[in-house]
Structure formats: structure tokens, C-alpha cells
């Protein structure tokens, strides 16, 4: 908890993967599928541990101070203080920032909360969440309608730690999406329908997340995405700025962090648990990615 009583979002908690391969969001209340948190100074953690990922939930971000960038699929959007972004369902994305003092509000929610009615879903979803909708929507506080939406994100975060807040949050979410609908239907937002390479990329990420603890080869990654080796390498470079093998290592190291933080397993036991074939290679990789050894990281946690 921070001083306001809001539990801070941690990008260092290891994401769970559901049966479809997407990240399973840890909702504040499983019966009310909204994750709403104020988050200060993520960059001040020991090191960034998150990798590009996706989930079926919609993500709303409001930059309260400082600056940050969002990588969404193959593009990078720079956000200044007062800006925000809405990342659509099932889009590859990652928060990146060199600003150690930025502050953001984050709301992640299941779109079925506001699209549960069949008529509402058929009428409004194509503009907002369906395949023809944009992969993300950038919000600038200099625009009046965007400012109202950004204020709505802040309201949801504030209300999330009050008692009996669910109806109020739902009301604000519906208002936010009413404004987005009015905005998007005026714009020719023709997006390529679920590009085949994006589908392949998601399939390969799913394969790695499901099999990182065992032996993974480039051939196996290629087969999961139904692409050749050159295409596989190009897609990982395009979407993750990594090679396939480096991405595998990053997933293994991210899971290793969980063991280092939450278990008493030895370094060798952790190395084998997350798929490395030796403790020495695990330590070497850890140092390459994070400029410290696993032992040094553990000491920092004490």
C-alpha cells in the first residue's frame, strides 16, 4: 500500500497465462473484473522486468507527471504529462520509460463489463473493441473530450479503494466509452484486420510462455507460429526488438525473479526450474540483462 491506501501496481509480479495464451489479469475483485491502481516511479525498481505481452482486457493509462512511452504492436507512442493511451484487447504492448520520476494511473478491465448486452455489443463494439477498431487510442489533454476521458481514468483509480464503489466505476467506464464511441465514429479508423503476422506473433509468445521451463528451439517457435525461420526472426525483431532466443531468455529470467523473491530455492534449483541448462549460464544471462548476479539481486531484496 502507498500512503493514500492504494496498492501500487507491480510490473514485477509474474503474469499468469490463461488457456488461450493471453495474460490473466489479477483483478482487485475476481467478481468485478477491474484492475485500478495508482503507480509511482516504476523505473525506480531495481530493474525493469516486464516484456511485451497481451491480454483480452482493455488497458487505460493516464500519465499524471513525467513522461513515458508505450510500445503497441510495431509502433512506439510517446506520452507526456497529462496524456494517456487506451490499448485495445489482444494487442501486444509494453510500457517503457527512461524517466525515473513519472507517475501514472492504470485501469485494466474486462470489456464484457460494458459490452455484456448483445445489442450494445453489436452496435458499439466494432468502433471500440472489435477487429476493425484501432489497436490503441492516444489521449491528449489539450482536447476537451480527451481530457474528460483522462479525468475518468483518474476517478476510477480513486474510487477503487472506496467501499461500495463498483456501480460508480461501471458508470464512469460507460461514460468513457460513450465519449470514445462519439470520437471514433467520426474518424475513418480503418485498421488492417488482425494482421496474420500479429496472429503468428501471439501464437509464438503463447508457446514460449507455456514451455519456457523445458527445451525450446527456434524450430519449435517457428512451428507454433506457422512461419519460417527468417520470418520468425523478423517478427521478433519487429514486435519485441529481440531475437527469439533472447525473448525466451527474458521470459525465463522474469520467472526466475519470482523464485528469487518468493522462494528459498538455491540459484542452481532456480536455473533448472526456469529452463536454463546450468547455473553458470543462468548467472551469466542474468548479469547480461540486469547488470547484477542473481545472488546480488537477492541481497538487494533483504
Residues 160 and 260 placed together within one structural domain of the fold? no
Task: Report the domain count for the chain.
Answer: 2
pLDDT band at 215 (very low <50, low <70, confident <90, very high): very high
Task: Report which of residues 11 and 162 the model is more confident about.
Answer: 162
Distance separating alpha carbons of residues 59 and 290, to the nearest angstrom: 27
Could you tell me if 177 and 47 lie in one domain? yes
Helix (H) or strand (E) holding 60: strand 58-65
Report the CATH number that the domain containing residue 234 is assigned in CATH: 1.10.10.60
Rounded to the nearest angstrom, the gap between the alpha carbon of residue 149 and the centroid of all alpha carbons in its chain is: 20
Half-sphere exposure of 180 (CA within 13 A, CB side): 29
Instruction: Give the cell for residue 202.
Output: 501471439
Query: Residue 190 domain-assigned?
Result: no
Q: Which three cell numbers stand for residue 89?
A: 484487447
Position with higher pLDDT, 226 vs 45: 226
Task: Residue 138: give the domain boundaries.
Answer: 16-184
DSSP 214: S
Instruction: Tell me which H or E stretch contains 123.
Output: helix 118-128
Pairwise CA distance, residues 36 & 52, whole Å? 20
Domain boundary among 139, 157, 184: 184
For 293, counting Cβ atoms within 10 Å of its Cβ (0-12 exposed, 13-18 middle, 19+ buried), the class is middle
Output the pTM of the full model: 0.77
Q: Could you tell me if 169 and 253 lie in one domain?
A: no
Residue with cell 479503494: 161
Residue 120: Cβ within 10 Å count = 13
Q: How many CB atoms lie within 10 A of CB 182?
A: 11
Looking at residue 144, which CATH number applies to its domain?
Answer: 2.60.120.280
Please count the helices (runs of H) and the strands (runs of E) in the chain: 11, 10
According to the model, what pLDDT value does residue 43 have?
A: 44
Confidence of residue 16 (pLDDT cuts 50, 70, 90): low
Same domain, 224 and 167: no
Give the best-scoring range by mean pLDDT among 36-45, 159-168, 176-185, 275-284. Answer: 275-284
Tell me, rounded to whole angstroms, the distance of Cα 65 from its chain centroid: 20
Contacts of 199 (CB under 8 A, 6+ apart): none
- The answer to whether the CB of 251 falls within 8 A of the CB of 212 is yes
- Tell which wins on pLDDT, 155 or 5: 155
CB 132 within 8 A of CB 125: no
**Cβ pair 135, 190 in contact under 8 A:** no
Q: Is residue 75 located within the same domain as residue 201?
A: no
Whether residue 293 sits in one domain with residue 156: no
Which long-range contacts (C-beta less than 8 Å, at least 24 apart) are formed by 270-276?
270/294, 273/213, 274/212, 274/213, 275/212, 275/213, 275/214, 275/215, 275/216, 275/248, 276/252
Running DSSP on this structure, what letter comes out for residue 37? Answer: E
Question: What's the pLDDT at 234?
Answer: 95
pLDDT tens-digit map of 109-136: 998 888 878 888 888 777 677 666 788 8
From 85, 41, 83, 36, select the one nearest 64 (Cα to Cα).
Answer: 83
Distance from C-alpha of 15 to C-alpha of 50, rounded to nearest angstrom: 9
Of 184, 216, 250, the residue that ends a domain is 184
Amino acid at each position: 500500500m502507498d500512503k493514500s491506501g492504494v496498492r501500487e501496481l507491480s510490473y514485477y509480479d509474474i503474469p499468469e497465462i490463461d488457456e488461450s495464451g493471453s495474460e490473466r489479469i489479477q483483478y482487485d475483485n475476481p467478481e468485478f473484473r477491474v484492475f485500478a491502481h495508482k503507480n509511482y516511479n516504476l523505473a525506480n525498481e531495481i530493474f525493469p522486468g516486464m516484456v511485451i505481452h497481451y491480454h483480452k482486457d482493455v488497458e487505460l493509462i493516464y500519465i499524471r507527471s513525467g513522461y513515458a512511452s508505450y510500445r503497441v504492436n510495431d509502433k512506439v507512442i510517446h506520452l507526456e504529462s497529462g496524456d494517456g493511451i487506451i490499448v485495445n484487447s489482444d494487442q501486444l504492448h509494453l510500457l517503457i520509460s527512461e524517466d525515473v520520476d513519472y507517475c501514472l494511473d492504470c485501469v485494466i478491465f474486462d470489456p464484457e463489463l460494458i459490452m455484456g448486452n448483445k445489442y450494445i455489443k453489436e452496435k458499439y463494439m466494432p468502433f471500440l473493441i472489435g477487429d476493425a477498431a484501432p489497436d490503441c487510442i492516444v489521449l491528449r489533454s489539450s482536447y476537451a473530450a480527451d481530457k474528460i476521458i483522462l479525468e475518468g481514468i483518474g476517478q476510477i483509480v480513486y474510487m477503487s479503494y472506496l467501499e461500495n464503489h463498483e456501480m460508480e466505476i461501471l458508470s464512469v467506464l460507460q461514460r468513457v466509452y460513450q465519449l470514445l464511441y462519439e470520437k471514433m465514429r467520426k474518424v475513418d479508423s480503418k485498421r488492417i484486420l488482425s494482421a496474420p503476422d500479429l496472429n503468428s506473433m501471439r501464437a509464438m509468445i503463447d508457446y514460449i510462455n507455456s514451455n519456457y521451463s523445458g527445451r525450446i528451439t527456434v524450430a519449435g517457435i517457428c512451428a507454433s507460429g506457422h512461419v519460417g525461420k527468417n520470418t520468425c526472426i523478423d517478427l521478433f525483431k519487429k514486435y519485441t526488438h529481440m531475437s527469439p532466443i533472447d525473448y525466451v531468455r527474458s521470459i525465463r529470467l522474469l520467472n526466475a525473479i519470482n523464485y528469487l523473491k518468493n522462494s528459498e530455492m538455491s540459484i542452481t534449483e532456480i536455473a533448472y526450474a526456469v529452463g536454463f541448462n546450468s547455473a553458470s549460464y543462468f548467472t551469466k544471462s542474468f548479469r547480461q540483462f540486469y547488470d547484477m548476479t542473481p545472488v546480488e539481486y537477492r541481497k538487494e531484496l533483504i
